[in-house]
């Protein structure tokens, strides 16, 4: 189980920033917790990339969780993580217990990092300022992953296992959730194309190649068959191993 | 009532003589009075108290009956039970395991000599249903684990069941053979061909009795119709068709035809990158052969009517409970994913299981369930850890009793829970070797959430999350339940007086 039993400490505004900082390193804030959940989720997705037969339901649920976190981070404007050195002027929030992520929104409302914490900006301005970079971040999560990665070196208090995970993440070429997902599924997709493509194969020039490969029982000629030549070509390429 | 000492008196409790001395005794203790059955085969005071309390509150008392399977040492992963199912009469109980084997138990006839001992289940047949396969196109292994077993109603002397792994459904015929033909003309007793020159007479082979042999033969193999992993099979009430559901599609089969199936539900998006929801379970309506339901990973249930169109992508009814915004967290969607859906025997209700609750829905009300039962709400604050160790993805099943008055589902630490829909009472019981004395009454268990832990309670942090009860089954008409705890199968019965 996760480290448990970290005690809560109420916010001490303006008082003893250094103490607050030292305290923050010992007790992760909501955004750090959320970040580690995101990292854990990405690792889980990677792991099922390596598994023999990934459980699709599990992958979908994890991917949806990742999307949720990304969306929330975009709303917060925290998708680009600020290095804690700069946080000297922006106090690292309130110190919360480890299980904050499990708590309901109502409980969390008072504790989540407000977009304008320590900046002096009005709430209206900051989201506006944040949207452009965060939108870019959403479109290119890969680069933001790397960014997050580099800023992580500055943080303390992460478990060793997470460090190993980041190395793996860096080595992987796929970045966005969608890409990860498409990778995992490509073989399914192709097989599906082959099976459904069986129906339309006799007309195309690839017919003989596929028929030679035909499975023991023919694919059901159902009305939901969605084959098109593009998929068929791709499938044939794989079969022929070009 | 006079306090005194007489045979069977328990001085610590201070018992009295009641009006029906030969059967009941009323015991007074500092904590109150309990009724005790006299002459019952209880081992301990505790059993007596439980029995007494049970009588007073009219709760069902569950007793240990049998356990099948080996004790820890020597248990392999292949022995892990992955599905449990009674047949329609309750005479047979089938289990499937991770190693692809099916074991069928048969209830012995109740003998007149042992009136108090209800029929026990003994091994009837064991066979290898599925073997591991290798998918060469995808370079992936196909597990032989039996995901589901469903019985067909009995129509002749033989028994038929469907068993499925991730990709292939098989129809098995289990039949008895207690006679064999003897006296062939062309073959001798060992089956060797006789020399034609030695054959001088003609005779008719006769059937002679032999030792009972139970043989299982695969009668149909329904393969190559599922790209994704099959999670459910369900026999239709017409007994001619059945459905198989995988993550994204549901297919309808005719038992006689193995090279063709009809696709009746397809939720696969054109672009797989847009996939956000999968099918988690599906079942036919018990009486209406045109209706079925399927559940999703987003906590919704769809009722479909096959008469409406060939492809049932449009539902007739859509069951979803609005989310409680105050309870929202990053894990909300995961814990709302439905792991099992079951029609009641009456066909009027459906029951769904998600990670923390069991819900009963009325088919006529789509906007919320009529009943919600908390299975282990104390896990709500532990969801982060349960996500980390993957337990949050465990798929628990749920079952109805024969009269649809009680529902049962499993939990962790080998606990399982029963909810009485009428009395609104619930109980937590444990399947463990410690409670395995014959006819020992199961003691209710309690999980302590916080604060002071009482003597018999167990704290949340002490729960063993590797001991999970995912699969249970309830006899169709009697209070007999089968509970699969990893590689052991426990059978419990209600107390017989």
For B134-154, what is the mean pLDDT? 91
Q: Which two tokens stand for residue B453?
A: 């832990």
Could you tell me how many residues make up chain A? 242
The answer, yes or no, to whether residue B319 has pLDDT greater than 90, is yes
Characterize the bridge pairing of strands B371-374 and B317-319.
unpaired
Q: Which residues in chain B are contacts of A55 at CB distance < 8 A? A: 229, 393
Helices (H), A16-77: 17-26, 30-50, 56-76
Residue B72: left if φ>0, alpha if ψ -120 to 50, beta else—which one? alpha
The confidence score (pLDDT) of residue B189 equals: 77
ipTM reported for the complex, 2 dp:
0.84
Would you mind telling me the total number of residues written for chain B in this entry? 497
Query: Residue B184's pLDDT is what?
Result: 86
Write down the mean pLDDT value for chain A.
Answer: 51
Contact A61 B337 (CB under 8 A): yes
Cβ contacts below 8 Å, chain A against chain B, sum to 143
Q: Do A104 and B326 touch (CB under 8 A)?
A: yes
- Closest Cβ–Cβ partner in B142, B270, B326 for A105: B326
Which range is least confidently modeled, A6-10, A160-164, B256-260? A160-164
In the three-class reduction of DSSP (H, G, I as helix; E, B as strand; rest coil), residue B128 is classed as strand
pLDDT, average across residues B233-241: 97
CB atoms near residue B473 (< 10 Å): 24
- How sure is the predictor about B285, in pLDDT bands with cuts at 50, 70 and 90? very high
Element of type H or E holding B368: none
Whether residues B327 and A53 touch (CB distance < 8 A) is answered with no
List the 158-177 stretch of B: residues with Cβ below 8 A of A: 166
Which range has the worst mean pLDDT, A86-90, A179-183, B301-305, B468-472?
Answer: A86-90
User: In Å, how far from its chain's centre is CA B227?
Assistant: 26
pLDDT band at A102 (very low <50, low <70, confident <90, very high): low
The structure tokens listed for B326 are 């105050």
B282 pLDDT exceeds 90?
Answer: yes
Global pTM reads: 0.70
Mean pLDDT (whole number) for B101-116: 82
Whether the predicted pLDDT of B33 surpasses 70: no
Residue of B nearest to A239 (CA): B137
User: Per-residue confidence at A3, pLDDT binned at 50, 70, 90?
Assistant: very low
Residue B98 has pLDDT above 50, yes or no: yes
CA distances B185 to A45, B189, B192, B196, B199, Å, are: 67, 10, 11, 10, 7
Per-residue pLDDT at B141: 86
pLDDT of residue B313: 78
Biggest alpha carbon–alpha carbon distance for chain A: 79
Residue B246 near residue B182 (C-beta atoms within 8 A): no
* A23-32, B356-365, B373-382: least confidently modelled range: A23-32
Does residue B450 sit at the A interface (CB-CB below 8 Å)?
A: no
Q: Which residue has the tokens 């003589």?
A: B17
Q: What is the pLDDT of residue A88?
A: 38
Over 70: is that where the pLDDT of B321 sits? Answer: yes
Counting Cβ atoms within 10 Å, is residue A90 exposed (0-12), middle (13-18) or buried (19+)? middle
Can you say how many angstroms the Cα of residue A53 is from the centroid of all Cα atoms in its chain?
Answer: 21
Interface-testing mutation among B384, B412, B449, with chain A (most A C-beta atoms within 10 A): B384
Interatomic CA distance for residues B262 and A217, integer angstroms: 14
- Cβ atoms within 10 Å, residue B158: 16
Q: How far is B66 from chain A (nearest CA, A)?
A: 34
Q: Say if CB B310 and CB B266 are below 8 A apart.
A: no
Contact flag B327-A69 (C-beta cutoff 8 Å): no
Instruction: Return the number of other C-beta atoms located less than 10 Å from residue B13's C-beta.
Output: 19
Confidence band for A91, pLDDT divided at 50, 70 and 90: very low
C-alpha–C-alpha distance, residues B95 and B126, integer Å: 10
Residue window 126-155, chain B: list those with CB within 8 Å of chain A.
137-143
On the question of pLDDT at B104 being above 90, the answer is yes
Highest mean pLDDT among A70-79, B107-116, B121-130: B121-130
Q: Which two tokens stand for residue A175?
A: 């970045």
Chain A residues whose CB is inside 8 A of the B251 CB are 220
Phi, psi of B472 (to 5 degrees): -140, 165
* Range scoring the smallest mean pLDDT among A96-110, A160-174, B344-358: A160-174
Q: Phi first, then psi: what are they for B463, rounded to 5°?
A: -65, 140
Tell me what pLDDT residue B435 has: 78
**Sign of the C-alpha dihedral computed for residues B2, B4, B7 and B12 taken in this order:** positive
Residue at token pair 């998006």: B269
B286-313: per-residue pLDDT in tens? 999 999 999 999 999 999 999 988 888 7
Whether A69 sits inside 8 A of B141 (CB atoms) is no
B356: left (phi over 0), alpha (psi -120 to 50) or beta: alpha
Least reliable range by pLDDT among A22-31, B197-206, B253-262:
A22-31
Q: Report, as an integer, the average pLDDT of B29-57.
A: 52
Of B140, B260, B383, the CB nearest to A220: B260
> Can you tell me which residue has the tokens 């033989």?
B158
- Contact of B443 with B427, CB cutoff 8 Å: no
Task: Convert the pLDDT of each residue in A171-202 to its tens digit.
Answer: 433 344 444 444 444 444 443 433 333 333 33
Q: What's the pLDDT score for residue B48?
A: 66
Whole-number pLDDT of residue A236 = 64
pLDDT class of A240 with cuts at 50, 70, 90 = low
CA distance linking residue B496 with residue B266, whole number of Å: 49
Q: What is the pLDDT of residues B388-437, one digit of tens each?
A: 999 999 999 999 999 999 999 999 999 999 999 999 999 999 999 887 88
Which among A217, A213, A218 is positioned nearest to A236, based on CA atoms? A213
Highest mean pLDDT among A109-113, B75-79, B314-318: B314-318
Q: Check pLDDT > 50 for residue A153.
A: no
Average pLDDT over residues A2-30: 48
Does residue A114 surpass a pLDDT of 50? no
Closest residue of chain B to A213, computed from CA coordinates: B137
- Decide if A224 and B251 are in contact by the 8 Å CB cutoff: no
What pLDDT does residue B56 have?
Answer: 53
Residue B138 pLDDT exceeds 70: yes
Q: Which is more confidently placed, B338 or B32?
A: B338
Q: Which of A135-139, B251-255, B279-283, B448-452 has the lowest mean pLDDT?
A: A135-139
Identify the three-state secondary structure at position B342.
strand
Under a CB-based contact definition with an 8 Å cutoff, are residues B163 and B85 in contact? no
Tell me the average pLDDT of chain B.
88
């Amino acid at each position: 189980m996760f480290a448990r039993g970290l005690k809560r400490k109420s916010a001490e505004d303006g008082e003893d920033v250094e103490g607050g900082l030292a305290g923050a390193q010992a007790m992760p804030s909501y955004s750090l917790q959320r970040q580690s959940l995101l990292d854990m989720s990405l690792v889980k997705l990677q792991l099922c990339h390596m598994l023999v037969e990934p459980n699709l339901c599990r992958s979908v649920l994890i991917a949806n969780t990742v999307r949720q976190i990304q969306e929330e981070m975009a709303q917060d404007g925290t998708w680009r993580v600020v290095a804690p050195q700069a946080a000297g002027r922006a106090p690292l929030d309130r110190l919360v217990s480890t299980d904050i992520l499990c708590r309901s929104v109502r409980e969390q409302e008072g504790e989540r990092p407000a977009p304008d914490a320590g900046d002096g900006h009005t709430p209206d301005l900051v989201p506006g300022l944040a949207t452009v970079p965060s939108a870019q971040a959403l479109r290119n999560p890969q680069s933001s992953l790397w960014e997050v990665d580099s800023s992580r070196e500055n943080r303390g208090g992460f478990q060793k296992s997470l460090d190993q995970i980041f190395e793996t993440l860096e080595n992987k070429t796929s970045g966005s959730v969608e890409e990860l997902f498409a990778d995992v599924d490509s073989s399914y997709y192709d097989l599906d194309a082959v099976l459904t493509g069986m129906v339309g194969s006799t007309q195309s020039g690839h017919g003989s190649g596929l028929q030679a490969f035909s499975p023991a029982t023919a694919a059901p000629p159902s009305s939901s068959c969605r084959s098109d030549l593009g998929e068929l070509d791709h499938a044939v390429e794989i079969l022929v191993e070009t | 009532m006079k306090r005194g000492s007489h045979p069977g008196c328990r001085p610590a409790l201070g018992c009295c003589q009641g009006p029906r001395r030969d059967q009941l005794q009323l015991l007074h203790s500092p904590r109150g009075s309990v009724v005790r059955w006299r002459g019952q085969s209880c081992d301990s005071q505790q059993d007596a108290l439980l029995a007494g309390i049970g009588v007073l509150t009219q709760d069902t008392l569950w007793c240990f009956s049998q356990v099948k399977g080996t004790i820890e040492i020597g248990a392999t992963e292949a022995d892990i039970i992955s599905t449990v199912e009674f047949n329609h009469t309750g005479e047979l109980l089938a289990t499937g395991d991770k190693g692809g084997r099916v074991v069928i138990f048969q209830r012995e006839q109740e003998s007149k000599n042992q009136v108090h001992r209800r029929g026990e289940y003994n091994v009837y047949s064991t066979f290898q249903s599925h073997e591991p396969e290798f998918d060469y196109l995808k370079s992936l292994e196909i597990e032989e684990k039996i995901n589901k077993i469903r019985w067909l109603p009995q129509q002749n002397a033989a028994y038929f069941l469907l068993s499925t792994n991730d990709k292939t459904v098989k129809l098995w015929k289990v039949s008895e053979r207690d006679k064999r033909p003897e006296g062939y003309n062309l073959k001798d007793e060992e089956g060797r061909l006789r020399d034609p020159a030695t054959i001088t007479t003609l005779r008719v082979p006769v059937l002679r009795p032999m030792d009972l042999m139970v043989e299982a033969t695969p009668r149909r193999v329904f393969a190559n119709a599922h790209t994704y992993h099959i999670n459910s099979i369900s026999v239709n009430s017409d007994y001619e068709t059945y459905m198989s559901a995988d993550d994204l599609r549901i297919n309808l089969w005719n038992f006689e035809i193995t090279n063709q199936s009809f696709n009746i539900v397809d939720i696969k998006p054109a672009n797989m990158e847009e996939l956000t929801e999968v099918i988690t379970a599906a079942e036919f309506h018990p009486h209406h052969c045109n209706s079925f339901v399927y559940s999703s990973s987003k906590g919704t249930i769809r009722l479909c009517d096959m008469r409406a169109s060939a492809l049932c992508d449009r539902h007739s009814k859509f069951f979803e409970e609005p989310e409680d915004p105050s309870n929202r967290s990053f894990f909300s969607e995961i814990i709302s994913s439905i792991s099992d859906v079951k029609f009641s025997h009456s066909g009027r209700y459906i029951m769904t299981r998600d990670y923390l609750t069991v819900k009963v829905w009325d088919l006529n009300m789509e906007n919320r369930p009529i009943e919600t039962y908390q299975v282990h709400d104390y896990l709500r604050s532990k969801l982060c850890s349960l996500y980390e160790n993957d337990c949050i993805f465990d798929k628990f099943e749920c079952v109805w009793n024969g009269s649809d008055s009680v529902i049962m589902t499993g939990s962790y630490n080998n606990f399982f829970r029963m909810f009485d829909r009428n009395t609104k009472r619930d109980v937590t019981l444990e399947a463990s070797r410690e409670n395995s004395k014959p006819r020992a009454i199961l003691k209710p268990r309690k999980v302590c959430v916080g604060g002071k832990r009482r003597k018999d309670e167990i704290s949340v942090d002490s729960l063993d999350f590797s001991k999970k009860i995912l699969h249970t089954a309830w006899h169709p008409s009697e209070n007999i339940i089968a509970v699969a705890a990893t590689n052991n199968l426990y059978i419990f019965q209600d107390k017989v007086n």
